[in-house]
Structure 1
Amino acid sequence: MDMKKFTLLTALLAILVSCGSKDRGELVGVQGKKWHPEKPYGMELIPGGAFIMGKADDDLAGVHDAPAKTVTVRAFYMDATEITNSEYRQFVNWVRDSIVRMKLAVLADEVGMLPEDGGIGLYAFKDADTANMTNYEKYMFENYSGLGPTGYEGRKINKKVDLIFDTSEYPDEYYTEVMDTMYLPEEEAYNGQRTWDVTKFKFQYSHMDIQEAARNRGVKRKDVIIKEEVEVYPDTTVWIRDFSYSYNEPMHNDYFWHDAYSDYPVVGVTWKQAKAFCEWRTLWKNSYQKSKKGSANVNTFRLPSEAEWEYSARGGLQAATYPWGGPYTKSDRGCFMANFKPVRGDYAADQALYTVEAKSYEPNDYNLYNMAGNVSEWVNASYDPASYEHTSTINPSINDADNQRKIVRGGSWKDVAYFLQVSSRDYEYADSARSYIGFRTVQDYMGTQVTSSGK
C-alpha cells in the first residue's frame, strides 16, 4: 500500500468514527454512570474544615503533648456510636463460619465427596464441579488455585448451605470430625459444656503500605503488600486482669456474648484487631456490592486519624473543653454528661458502674454519641509527645509502624474528667487489650466539596 492510499484510508476511518459518535467530535471525556453518595449505615457525615487542635486552655496535668495548632481535615463518615458487641460478634461469627466451611471443604476434597453424595459433600468447594464455571472462573481455577502453602488457596467455599451446630443433627462422621477440631478438648470442658477454641478464629488479609511505596519509588509492588493474620476474639480476661483484688467475673463471663450486652461497646480488642475489623467490614460491604451487578466498590473502612477523631469530637465547637462545650461535666440540671469516674471511687454517680449502651447520653452537634467517656477509642496514630510540632496542617497523620504505642482518645468509664477532654491524649500498646478501650470506624467521603463553612 502506497502512502497516498494509506492517508486516504486513515481519513476515511476518522470520518466514519466521528460520524458514528455522539460527541460530534468534541472532547467530552469518558462518560460514566451517574454517581450519588450513599451514607453508610450507622454513620454520620462529618464535613471537612479547619479547627484548633490541641489544648486551648491550661494543661493541668502538665503533659505538654498537645500544643494548640490550626489544622484542616477533609470530609468523611464516622460511626455514630462505638462498635458494639453485637456488631463485633458479626465479625467473629463470619470468621468462625468461614474457617469451618474451609475445613469441611478440604476434608470433602480429601475423601472425594461431592454435593450429590450428601453429608460433608454438600460443603465441597464450589469448583469441585467445573461444569457450571464461566470462562473466567475456569481460567482462574486452572492457573491460580492451589498456589500456596496449603494447596487450597484461591478455591471458593460454598456459603449457600447452612452450617449445623446441633450435635444431634450432624450429617455424618466426617462433619463431626471437623466440628470436633473447633472446640476445646473434652478434658477442658466443665459444667457439661464444651466451648469454642477461639484461638482458631483467625482473620487473614493483605494491604498495601502506600506510604512506603510513595517514599521509595523503586520498590516493587509485591514488596509493599503486607499479609496479616489476626486472632479476632476479644480478650474477655481483661475484666479480671485490669483490676487487682476486684470481683469482675460476671463481666468476664457474660459481657461479650450475652444478648443483655449486645448494644454495649466491645472491649478487650487490641489495635490490631480493630484494624482487622475495618478490613473485614470493607470486604463484607464490597461482597454485597459485587452481588449487585454494576455497583461500585465502597471506600475502605478504617480507624480515624487523631486529627479526624478530635475534629469529630468537638462537633464544630471551637476551643471547647468537652464535646458538649464545657467547661463543666454536668448539665444545667445537675446531670452528668458522660460515663466516667466523677467522684473518687464513686463509679455510680453518673448512673453507670461499667460501660453503658453505645447510644447513651446526648450526642454532640455532629450527632456522635459518647465521644467522651464510656470507652476510650483506638485511632490510627502512634504516640509521640512532639508530633504536633512537625505534622502537616492538612489531614495530619502520624502512624509509625515501628512505634507500638498507639493513641487512644476520649477517656472511659474508669477515667477522671481530664481524659474526657477532647484535647487529651493517651496511649496503649498495639497488642494490648483493655476493659475500657473500644473503637469506632470512619470512611472517606467521595469528593471534597462538603465543608463546615459551606451551605
Structure 2
Amino acid sequence: MRNVFIGLMSLAAIVLCSCMGSAGSTGAGGELTGVGAMAWSEPSPYGMVLIGKGSMKIGPDEVDSLWGINVPAKEVSVDAFWMDETEITNSEYRQFVFWVRDSLIRERLADPAYGGNELFKIEEDEEGNPITPYLNWNRPIPWKKATEDELVAIESVYMNHPVEGTRMLNASQMNFHYSYFDQMQAALRKNRLNPADRVRNTDIAVDEDAVVMISKDTAYVDDEGRIINMTINRPLSSLHDFENSYIINIYPDTTCWVNDF
C-alpha cells in the first residue's frame, strides 16, 4: 500500500512539473496573452471587384484670371469599395425577376387564403421552437401537378396580354421587399433600450421616463396597389425600431429577353 501511495505522489509530481514546464516554454509566464484564432478577411462578393482606396486633387490650384483669387486645389480621399465587374445582363435580370416571382408564389402557397401549405414556410426550428418565418426554397413549386388551390396561388402572379391574349407576368405584382438592421443607430448609447445604459456618468441622474425618438424607413402597399415608402418618427420601444424596410417594383420588361447580350 505504501508503494502504491508513493507511486501516485511521484506521478502527480511529474504531471505538475510538466504543466509548469509547458507554461514556461510558451513565454506566457502566467500572463493573459490571448489564444490563437484563424485570421478573418472580408469575403469577395460574387461577380464584384475591390476598388482600392486612394486620393486625388481637384481644382485649378492657380490664380483665377478674372478675379485674381488664389483657388487652391482640394485633396479628396475615397475609401475602398466593391463594384460589379460587368454590367448586369438580360439573363441575370431575368433570373432576379424569376426569383421575385417564385418568392411571391411560395408566400401564397403557404397563405391559408391560397394553398395553405405550411411546408412552404418554415416557422419552427428542429426542436419545435418558434423562429422568424422564412420561405422554404428546398420545396419545389408544383408547376405541373398543382391542386386547385395551388393553381390559384401560382396563377395569381400572371395575367393575359390585353391585345395578344398571351399569358404574361403581372408587372404590378412584381414587388421586391427587402430590409436591413441599422446596427450603427442601434449601437449608439443614446438609443439603448435600458435608460441606465444611456448615461455612464454617475454624477448625472438617469431619467427613467425619458422618451427616445427614432427615425426609420418603412413601406407598404395601399388598398389601390400603390407602393408607399416613407420615413416615420416614433418612440423607441424595441430593437425592431432599427429595422428599415423597403418595397421596389422591378418592372419586368419581357421584351428585352428576346435577345440576350
Q: 1:30 to 1:73 in 2, by over 3 A?
A: farther
**Residue equivalent to 1:98:** 103
Q: Distance in 1 between matches of 2:174 and 2:248?
A: 8
**Residue equivalent to 2:250:** 232
Q: How many residues align?
A: 186
Q: Distance in 1 between matches of 2:241 and 2:175?
A: 23
Q: 1:204 to 1:55 in 2, by over 3 A?
A: farther
Deviations 1:14-68 (A, max 9, x none): x9xx9798865333335432335543332222221211246899xxxxxxxxx95
Give the fraction of aligned pairs with identical amino acids, expressed as a percent. 32
The 8 Å contact of residues 109 and 115 in structure 2, kept in 1 or not, is answered as no
Q: How does 1:401-440 map to 2 (within 5 A)?
A: none
Q: Distance in 1 between matches of 2:108 and 2:165?
A: 26
Q: Distance in 1 between matches of 2:242 and 2:98?
A: 30
Deviation at 1:70, TM superposition (A): 1.0
Q: For residue 121 of structure 2, what is the amino acid of its counterpart?
A: F
**Residue equivalent to 2:39:** 34
Q: Does 1:200 align with 2:173?
A: yes
**Residue equivalent to 2:86:** 81
The 8 Å contact of residues 109 and 124 in structure 1, kept in 2 or not, is answered as no
User: What SS class does the counterpart of residue 88 from structure 2 fall into?
Assistant: coil
**Which region of structure 1 is more displaced relative to structure 2, 45-54 or 169-178?**
45-54
Q: Distance in 2 between matches of 1:89 and 1:95?
A: 10
Q: For residue 174 of structure 2, what is the amino acid of its counterpart?
A: F
Give me the TM-score of the superposition, normalised by structure 1.
0.34
Query: Of 123, 126, 140, which residue of structure 2 is paired with 1:134?
Result: 126
Q: How does 1:48-197 map to 2 (within 5 A)?
A: 48-53=53-58, 69-107=74-112, 124-127=120-123, 133-135=125-127, 138-139=128-129, 141=130, 154-165=132-143, 169-184=144-159, 186=160, 188-197=161-170
The 8 Å contact of residues 107 and 174 in structure 1, kept in 2 or not, is answered as no
Q: 1:110 to 1:196 in 2, by over 3 A?
A: closer
Structure 2: tracts of 5 or more residues without a match: 1-15, 63-71, 192-211, 213-235
Q: How does 1:250-265 map to 2 (within 5 A)?
A: 254-255=255-256, 257-258=257-258, 260-261=259-260, 263=261
Structure 1: tracts of 5 or more residues without a match: 1-14, 58-66, 115-122, 145-153, 237-252, 264-455
Deviation at 1:108, TM superposition (A): 8.7
Q: Distance in 2 between matches of 1:175 and 1:199?
A: 21
Q: How does 1:248-397 map to 2 (within 5 A)?
A: 254-255=255-256, 257-258=257-258, 260-261=259-260, 263=261
Q: Distance in 1 between matches of 2:136 and 2:186?
A: 36
Q: For residue 75 of structure 2, what is the amino acid of its counterpart?
A: T
Q: Give the RMSD, CA atoms, in angstroms.
A: 3.9
Higher strand share: 2
Rg larger in structure: 2
Q: For residue 135 of structure 2, what is the amino acid of its counterpart?
A: I
The 8 Å contact of residues 45 and 78 in structure 1, kept in 2 or not, is answered as yes
Q: 1:196 to 1:157 in 2, by over 3 A?
A: same
The 8 Å contact of residues 120 and 137 in structure 2, kept in 1 or not, is answered as no
The 8 Å contact of residues 108 and 124 in structure 1, kept in 2 or not, is answered as no
Q: How does 1:205-224 map to 2 (within 5 A)?
A: 205-209=178-182, 217-218=190-191, 219=212, 220=236, 221-224=239-242
Deviations 1:430-455 (A, max 9, x none): xxxxxxxxxxxxxxxxxxxxxxxxxx
Deviation at 1:172, TM superposition (A): 1.7
Deviations 1:216-247 (A, max 9, x none): 9345454443221222235x5xxxxxxxxxxx
Deviations 1:148-202 (A, max 9, x none): xxxxxx333321233354xxx2422112111221112x5x543241211122122
User: What SS class does the counterpart of residue 169 from structure 2 fall into?
Assistant: coil
Q: Distance in 1 between matches of 2:154 and 2:140?
A: 14
Q: 1:210 to 1:31 in 2, by over 3 A?
A: same
Q: 1:215 to 1:87 in 2, by over 3 A?
A: same
Q: Distance in 1 between matches of 2:60 and 2:177?
A: 40
Q: 1:36 to 1:124 in 2, by over 3 A?
A: closer
Q: Distance in 1 between matches of 2:61 and 2:96?
A: 39
Deviations 1:52-110 (A, max 9, x none): 246899xxxxxxxxx95311122233222233333333322212111101111224997
Kindly indicate whether structure 1 or structure 2 has the higher relative contact order, using CA contacts under 8 Å at least 6 residues apart.
Answer: 1
Q: Distance in 1 between matches of 2:126 and 2:103?
A: 24
Q: Distance in 2 between matches of 1:212 and 1:125?
A: 31
Q: For residue 254 of structure 1, what is the amino acid of its counterpart?
A: T
Q: Distance in 2 between matches of 1:76 and 1:215?
A: 25
